[in-house]
A and B are shown apart, each in its own frame.
Chain A
Amino acid sequence: MPTASLSVLDVPFDERPDPDEYIRAAMEWHFGPDTGSPFWLRKARTLDFDPRRDVKGVADLALFPHVTGELREVPVRDLIPQGYGADARIVGVFESGGTTGAPKRIVCLRDWLDRLTHGLSADLDGLGIPRGVDWLAIAPSGPHMVGEMVAGTAARHGGLMFRVDMDPRWVKKLISAGKAEETDAYVSHLVEQAAHVLRTQEIGVLMTTPPLLERLARHDDLIELIGEKVKGIMWGGAHMDADTRDLLRTEVFPGCALYGTYGNTMILGGATERLGLGPDEPCVFDPRTPFVTFSVVDPASGEPVPYGERGQVVMNHVSKSALLPNNLERDLAIRVPPPEGAAGDSVADVGPVAMFDDEVVIEGVY
């Protein structure tokens, strides 16, 4: 039995295991007949390789087929590794936002959430965000993992968290139906709720999406309130262009540390912004490797693009609690070398597939 090597899956929060050793241990765990989940044990029979033999490191995760589509229907209990036994501590069942069809479901276990929130809290220490201040999150909760992630981070950082709930699926539905007024009314409703918390509570950390930050910035009184109270703003859930980021930093919220996360349900969390870069450098996201790793590939060939080039993001989540390898995301990003000692790629200037609309308007003279 490979029990000794499996201990690398439970390294202390502050330690980063050797990436390839870690991946090999994870393969033993997820494909061991006594420890693996019913989902992966079934799946293993259809693979044309043996994960325990052939997956020797991070790079070999590319051998796996894209399986996340199956997460729309698979019974979630089948995703829990049997090795946890009867007392697996489940935080919850979470779903993707449903941007690309029906939502995909994952199960989040306590040991992963603890590792994730420990890392985020440590990042906030590095950013100078004080512990013990209270938080306001204008973010999706319910089936969306981000709410739980932020709540867990706030708690670990010693804060109480006030919540304004956001339903991203409803907003997407309104936008795609062209209901601009209803979208606007919904976002105004969110801002109104946030304003009430900001006025009445001592909020030290604000977590929300870039579009919501822009909406808050329409209100001078809220800009002022945030400037007075908030020490750090953590953003995620949508992309932020470099010009907007610079304006937020230098003009709108100059007294707040602005901290970006690039998150995704399929990695059970988010990659976080690399600190210490200058204002004209792009926002680089480093995933917490080897638990989460990225690669940036040419969408046509699947081959990695050169550093500095734009490609499509492939994500891997490998923890004791879950295995979600080789998931091709819809996002495009620039491939950036990872920090020293980290595996895979880091990403910069993340954005959705660029839309270049044709300016030629034929009918009419304009």
Chain B
Amino acid sequence: MSQPATTPDALDAPRTPDAPDPLQALDALGPKGPYRSRHRLTISDVTGTPMAELSLVPRLFVTRALAALRAAATPPLEERLAALKRAGELFATGTVAGMTAAAYESAVCRMSGTPLANVRIAVEAIRLSATEAYRSVQAARPVGAVGDWRDPYARGGTAVWIRRGDVFAVHAAGNHPAVHALWLEALALGYRVAVRPSRREPLTPYRLVSALREAGFGTDQVVLLPTDHDAAGEILHGADLSMVYGGQEVIDRYAADPAVLPNGPGRSKILLTADREWRDHLDVVVDSIARHGGTACVNATAVLVEGDPAPVAEALAERLAALPSLPPQDETAVLPVHPVETARGFERLLLGKAAGARAWLGGDGVVDDLGDGSAALRPAVLQLDDPRDPRLGMELSFPCVWVAPWTRAAGVAALRDSLVVTAITGDEALLDALLAEPSIKNLYIGDHPTHWIAPGIPHDAYLGEFLMRTKAVIRG
């Protein structure tokens, strides 16, 4: 039998009453309300200062919570949409679980090292997703399907769009708070949702689930289940459908499981062909690399240049070198910040992989010690000789870009396995081929950054395509 993890902190002596600044308690949000476990994880900010205590629930709690979600009924559509809208506004601007929006933004910056501006982008994305939930999910509905058997179309026979299950689980990532915008669509579609937060940044889902509850969702409609790895699998087991985030190994593990939707590295790319003047598009390329601190799957990892890539790499290096190193809560911060040791780990990995590449930026390292225990990760620009070099697909969570020459012979193959390709080209045959390539998930043509997204636009296909199916219905 596998054994439950031990609970070394469960028996810590209780804090003395006069202890200063008790840590914020991030309770699990279970079907009976907040749950404070004995097994808790201290969450520190990027300087190493403890900030919060996250309650980690045991496997049995997960089993029970998912059973409660399964037993619950889904509220009517109108109620769900109204509650979602309220929750989105509350999340973005209100005081939730005793925390103001400004305090949340500052806290999540310090906890995750995400620059403040990016947190604000994420907050807006979450607010929009909640507010626009109906429009967003309806975009995924097949044109032949209606939402209800009472629809007049059903008299002559039609398709009705129905859920593939009732309980949806999310193993969330901590790289960017905006990952929590997506699963709101599942709530809009009538799923009961269980979220397992990332242990690096549990504050965003804690606030979001709290806001959803304050806005009217029942405790048996949406739960927050922080767990250690031992209990994580139980969440997937207890749900009908799940979405997981992770590296390539996660993608591989769940590739064959029809009940799991894996979200992995984006490996987004930009293609600059010779018929376009690349200097005119430099802003979009820089923005694609650096927006979101380079931490998102939609950030450009590779730039392929028809012709000599060196001038492009040089220009990118010059522009990216100007980005300031600042603490994440600074209004003008743009680079991700980590505890120094974590940052050094990223740096070692980069330098190990960069051997033989021409380093335009970051060749001596990317760690900028901020002197308070944390470090900013500075951008890196590395030039490769071959568009087939596998390092073009190596994604790191800071602005790190691999630049390589592209040729007609390398073709579409060099752009495979990309969440987004921004193609700056006038070659329509090439665009046809890029659109037809199944492993390129999104194609942006011309001056659009790889991180462009809007409600109603699929991110990696519509989530609705995974959550829903059609059923034939005819009635007299």
- Residues of A bordering B, CB below 8 Å: 168, 171, 175, 180, 183, 187, 209-212, 214, 217-218, 220, 237-244, 246-248, 251-252, 280, 282, 310, 332, 334, 348-352, 354-355, 357, 359-366
Q: Which of A209, A218, A243, A310 contacts B1 (CB 8 A)?
A: A209
Q: In the bound complex, what is the Cα–Cα distance between A115 and B450 (angstroms)?
A: 74
Interface window among B52-60, B280-288, B321-329: B52-60
B199 adjacent to chain A (CB < 8 Å): yes
Q: Does B360 contact A (CB under 8 A)?
A: no
- Whether the pair B10, A242 counts as a contact (CB closer than 8 A) is yes
Do A214 and B63 touch (CB < 8 A)? yes
Instruction: Tell which of A218, A334, A349 touches B63, judged by Cβ atoms closer than 8 Å.
Output: A218
Cross-chain pair count, CB within 8 angstroms:
136
Cα distance A310–B8 when bound, in Å?
Answer: 8
Q: Nearest Cβ distance between residue B292 and chain A, in whole angstroms? A: 10
Decide if B60 touches A252 in the complex (CB within 8 Å). Answer: yes
A359 to B245 CA separation, bound complex (whole angstroms): 14
Minimum CB–CB distance from B455 to chain A (whole Å) comes to: 23
User: Which residues of the partner chain A approach B39 to less than 8 Å between Cβ atoms?
Assistant: 241-243
Q: What's the minimum C-beta distance from B81 to chain A, rounded to whole angstroms? A: 30
Residues on A with beta carbons closer than 8 Å to the beta carbon of B60: 214, 217, 244, 247-248, 252
Complex Cα gap A242–B264 (Å) = 35
Of B119-127, B341-349, B410-418, which binds chain A?
B341-349
**B296 and A365 contacting across the interface, CB-CB below 8 Å:** yes
Q: Of residues A168, A242, A280, A352, which shows the largest number of chain B Cβ atoms within 10 Å of its Cβ?
A: A242
Docked pose: A359 CA to B202 CA in angstroms: 13
Is there contact, CB below 8 Å, between A239 and B10? no
Within 8 A of A (CB), among B41-68: 57-61, 63-64, 67
**Contacting A243 at CB < 8 Å: which of B10, B233, B396?**
B10
- What's the tally of chain B residues with a CB closer than 8 Å to chain A? 49
Q: Which 10 A-B pairs have the closest CB atoms?
A: A351-B6, A364-B247, A211-B1, A366-B173, A364-B265, A365-B397, A244-B58, A243-B58, A241-B7, A243-B37
- The residue in chain A whose Cβ has the minimal distance to the Cβ of B292 is A365
Say whether B5 contacts A360, CB under 8 Å.
no
B200 at the interface (CB under 8 A from A): yes
| A130 and B72 alpha carbons, distance in the complex (Å) | 38
**Contact A362-B6, Cβ < 8 Å, known A243-B37, A348-B11:** no
From the candidates B6, B264, B349, B396, name the one contacting A332 in the complex (CB within 8 A): B6
| Complex contact B174–A366 (CB within 8 A) | yes
Contact status A349-B7, CB under 8 Å:
yes
A366 & B37 in contact (Cβ 8 Å cutoff): no
Interfacial chain B residues near A247, Cβ < 8 Å: 58, 60-61, 64
- Determine how close the nearest CB of chain B comes to the CB of A349; give it in whole angstroms: 5
| Per-position 1/0 for B197-219, Cβ under 8 A of A | 01110000000000000000000
Task: State whether B8 touches A354 (Cβ < 8 A).
Answer: yes
Which of A243, A280, A310 contacts B57, CB < 8 Å?
A: A243
Q: With A and B bound together, what is the CA distance between A248 and B63 in angstroms?
A: 12
Are B395 and A365 closer than 8 Å at their CB atoms?
Answer: yes
Q: Does B297 contact A (CB under 8 A)?
A: yes
Is B266 at the interface (CB under 8 A from chain A)?
yes
Contact assessment for A361 and B6 in the assembled complex, using a CB-CB cutoff below 8 Å: no
Q: Is the beta-carbon distance between B396 and A365 smaller than 8 angstroms?
A: yes
Q: Is the CB of B5 within 8 A of A354?
A: yes
Residue of A nearest to B244 (CB): A366
Among B272-314, those with CB < 8 Å from A are: 295-297, 299
